[in-house]
Structure 1
Amino acid sequence: MKILVTGATGLVGGALLLHLLDSGHEVRAALRGDGGGVAPGCQPVRVGEIGPETAWGEALAGVEAVVHAAGCVHGGGTKSEFAHRARCLAVNVDGTINLARQAVAAGVRRFVFVSTIKVNGEFSEKGRPFTAEDLPRPVGAYALSKQAAETGLRRLAGESGLEVVIVRPPLVYGPGVKANFQTMMRWLKWGVPLPFGAIDNRRSLVALDNLVDLLGLCLVHPAVAGQIILAADGEDLSTSQLLRRLAGAMGKRALLVPVPANIVAAGMGLCGLGDEARRLCADLQVDIGPTTALLGWRPPVSLHTALHKTVRHYLQSS
């Protein structure tokens, strides 16, 4: 199968290219720049910035399926919330629908959209993991734009027959992960005492290897067209458990101080870190039971193995 992958130089897109090539597919990588940094064996095509005016003709020629993993997550250098919202709208909504419409015109059969569990909400209720049937409760420009893109894609699918598959992952970790996950590993490497020893939440994660395996299946499985697929490792951890597991993978002991969660949240809120506090203290669980039942899929890599692989790469590169 000939497949176009967007976001090909990102964490997910880069790993997906390798997975698809190893699976025997012909892979084309859509890039903003000149084609550097992509896996040998794939065909790089420069498309420039993604937006409502992007021309996809060359990239889509002869393609049977698209995995759209590119998107605007953060402000991209913008300093105002208004500018961030505008960028998310242009890239994640208008850019996605523009690509999908041109994919229909080019004869593409299936369109796999990498969305986010944040469409369900920022956190789940205690003991009630998110499901695909939940009423969406997105918060913030990024999650709202992903929900709007999902809605537009489903509408286009109804009009055109394009097989749209929406995949909502939680936090993705693996070799090369950045942002908060990398920060946690840095804290542990330096032996910083952390006030998270009493955090008894439950959070779902998805290993990079597991996500790309699931995306590969979503490209070919006959039952998945028109579905919303939730992704996760199938083993949930508290923040304190995650930190201890990461420290153990480093051969260290996590220095966790048992501060009550409400005090942690209040203290971080006073420092302007309210969003980070919620991510560290609240629940965010994902039910992958329907995913495994529909696709016969099980995460191929255990959480233990994936955490050790992530830590090993971090230590080697830091």
Structure 2
Amino acid sequence: MTMKARTTRPLPGETVPASTATARGRTRSTPVRVAVVGATGFVGSATVTALASAGIQCTAVARTPPHTDIPGVVSARADLTDPASLETALTGADVVIHAASYTGNDPAHCVAVNVAGTENLLAAAARNGISRVIYVSTIGVYGSGPHSGIGEYEATPAPVSALSASRLAAEHRVLERGGCVVRPGFVHGPGDRWFVPGFIRIVETLGAWVDEGRSRISIIAVNDLARLLAALAAQYPARNGEVFHACHPDPVTVRKLGQALADSGRLRLPATSLTFDDAVTAGARHGLTERHLDLIGRDHWYDPTRLWTATAATVGHGPLDHFPA
């Protein structure tokens, strides 16, 4: 799918003539510094690289910060549960990309890190005079499918797990403070420990397609997500209070995903197919829940046009061109 031609918004690293000053005394032509919280994670590390590649100064914030010699990148140690460490780590930043989340199943940790931790981060940003916070959330906040081509404001989130509920609560905190939220589709690429491994486990455990693998899902390469986040962070003026989907414009079928994994030697393709209801019954015998089968048996694709247009970014490749990494 070909996206719209570039608008007049600057690309990452570019500047335009100064005119209106920001609340912190910066102008449109003043380079920004972006703090990436969760800089050693799957998405965070790719985002640090994308910012550096675009010539944007970056502070890589993590509990165990990376040792990096990348020009324009400095490291800082902080923990979402330690407000004082966050305030120090954000010093000098103009924009925060919040890519640090607990992704386990412990409800108490979900609240402590994803909700209270986000509140701590927002408070630290406010104390540093930072009004621009971009939160990396998840399409998981929508809950069970089918979702077929929906826009950001066309469906009410209905999370079905403590994890997704905590991510949605974090979204609300960010939006209430004037930040913006990015909901990525299923992210793949170097460092993926969830989507592709989980997809393979579900398909091979079930041993069958669901409805011939016709369901469509939205995916995005981690490097594409990172450059979209970098472009959003570099933007002037800020797009506060907005929610964006981040995925390739074209959804892919479960069958095509499976074929791509089979071609790379990572998946044994099923020879049979079940209806969704029959798959739930069969899957239960092997420890698969309806939530597992929802991933491969129902549509989960979303319209990302607003983000690609807002950032004036181009796609330049098909959804499976870099899959799997």
Return the TM-score normalized by structure 2: 0.80
Q: Describe the SS at the equivalent of 1:55.
A: helix
Once the two structures are TM-superposed, the CA of residue 260 in structure 1 deviates from its matched residue by: 1.4
User: 2:49: which partner in 1?
Assistant: 18
User: 2:25: which partner in 1?
Assistant: none
Deviations 1:136-187 (A, max 9, x none): 2112111111111111222222xxxxxx121001211012211341355689
RMSD: 2.6
Report the count of equivalent residues: 289
User: 1:241: which partner in 2?
Assistant: 256
Pick 1 or 2: higher relative contact order, CA cutoff 8 A, min separation 6: 2
User: 1:264: which partner in 2?
Assistant: 279
User: 1:78: which partner in 2?
Assistant: none
Mapping of residues 168-207 of structure 1, within 5 Å = 168-182=183-197, 184=199, 194-196=207-209, 198-207=212-221
For the residues of structure 2 that align with 1:279 and 1:132, how far apart are their CA atoms?
A: 22
Once the two structures are TM-superposed, the CA of residue 264 in structure 1 deviates from its matched residue by: 2.5
- Structure with greater proportional helix content: 1
Matching residue's letter, 1:10: G
Q: Does the CA contact (< 8 Å) of 1:269 and 1:277 recur in 2?
A: no
Alignment CA distance shift 1:253-1:12 (3 Å): closer
Deviations 1:86-134 (A, max 9, x none): 1111111111111111101101141110011112223234x45353342
User: 1:58: which partner in 2?
Assistant: 88
For the residues of structure 1 that align with 2:69 and 2:141, how far apart are their CA atoms?
A: 31
Q: Describe the SS at the equivalent of 2:252.
A: coil
Once the two structures are TM-superposed, the CA of residue 303 in structure 1 deviates from its matched residue by: 1.9
User: 2:152: which partner in 1?
Assistant: 131
Alignment CA distance shift 1:70-1:193 (3 Å): closer
For the residues of structure 2 that align with 1:227 and 1:175, how far apart are their CA atoms?
A: 29
Mapping of residues 1-318 of structure 1, within 5 Å = 1-33=32-64, 35-36=65-66, 40-41=70-71, 42-47=73-78, 49-51=79-81, 53=83, 55-75=85-105, 84-125=106-147, 127-157=148-178, 164-182=179-197, 184=199, 194-196=207-209, 198-221=212-235, 222=237, 224-248=239-263, 250=264, 255-262=269-276, 263-274=278-289, 275-308=291-324, 310=325
Q: Does the CA contact (< 8 Å) of 2:219 and 2:251 recur in 1?
A: yes
Q: Does the CA contact (< 8 Å) of 2:202 and 2:292 recur in 1?
A: no
Q: Does the CA contact (< 8 Å) of 2:137 and 2:183 recur in 1?
A: yes
Matching residue's letter, 1:144: A
Alignment CA distance shift 1:144-1:253 (3 Å): closer
Q: Give the gaps of 5 or more residues in structure 1.
A: 76-83, 158-163, 311-318
Q: Give the gaps of 5 or more residues in structure 2.
A: 1-31
Q: Describe the SS at the equivalent of 1:285.
A: strand
